[in-house]
Chain A
Amino acid sequence: AQTVTQSQPEMSVQEAETVTLSCTYDTSESDYYLFWYKQPPSRQMILVIRQEAYKQQNATENRFSVNFQKAAKSFSLKISDSQLGDAAMYFCAYRSTGGTSYGKLTFGQGTILTVHP
């Protein structure tokens, strides 16, 4: 079974600064997907960025980028030019490509991000 670990329960950043959230995972699979989801106080899970394991290039979405280290099983999220609206709980998630359960995401414990003005 796959596991996802987020070792930072809380992080804070000043507005306009850069912050990095950490995530490690454990799997025996060679092909999989990794995601970062944002969950604001409204509780709706919003996809921030995704990475396909077979792609060596790190994914980027505007101010959000990842550092994907497949051998180290590490998947960190970098938020540049932090904005007040980035404040939320962030979850790292793993999705297997094997089997038929395409809908199963395995989530980490989450990191609460606070953005200070």
Chain B
Amino acid sequence: DAGVTQSPTHLIKTRGQHVTLRCSPISGHKSVSWYQQVLGQGPQFIFQYYEKEERGRGNFPDRFSARQFPNYSSELNVNALLLGDSALYLCASSLGGKVGNTIYFGEGSWLTVV
């Protein structure tokens, strides 16, 4: 079975532009979370969605938004990109509904803002 898949794997954007990152969870998983990992640091929680509803939001500005689709895939959108948004963006999925369910991560999308 396929794991968590993310696209694109690498991208370069210019300051002020907008970016959309995509994530497909493991088949059967209904919960998707997004994390930002700046080089040399641990991942920081951005959003969690379960059954197409936002269930949690980290300490990120309103330039960051996300949504989950009926097939449980998800998009992370970032507007008005800043140099500091350069990072690895990780998507994670789990069955959802129970806090004990294991969380599985994708390989991430590398975003470079120039």
Residues in chain A within 8 A of chain B (CB atoms): 4, 33, 37, 42-47, 50, 52, 91, 93, 95-97, 99-110
Closest to A4 in B: B42
| CB neighbours of A33 from chain B (8 A) | 99-100
Given contacts A43-B107, A91-B42, contact A101 B55 (CB under 8 A): yes
Which positions 30-79 of chain B face chain A at CB distance < 8 Å?
A: 31-33, 35, 40-45, 48, 50, 55-56, 58
Q: Indicate if the CB atoms of A102 and B101 lie closer than 8 Å.
A: yes
**Number of B interface residues, CB 8 Å?**
32
The CB with the most chain A CB atoms within 10 A, among B55, B97, B98, is that of B55
Given contacts A33-B100, A102-B48, A103-B48, contact A44 B107 (CB under 8 A): yes
Closest to A107 in B: B42
Complex Cα distance, B23 from A14, in Å, reads 38
Q: Indicate if the CB atoms of B90 and A102 lie closer than 8 Å.
A: no
| CB neighbours of B45 from chain A (8 A) | 103-106
Q: Indicate if the CB atoms of B107 and A103 lie closer than 8 Å.
A: no
Q: Indicate if the CB atoms of A100 and B56 lie closer than 8 Å.
A: yes
| CB neighbours of B35 from chain A (8 A) | 105
| CB neighbours of B55 from chain A (8 A) | 100-103
| CB neighbours of A47 from chain B (8 A) | 102-104
Q: Indicate if the CB atoms of A102 and B42 lie closer than 8 Å.
A: no
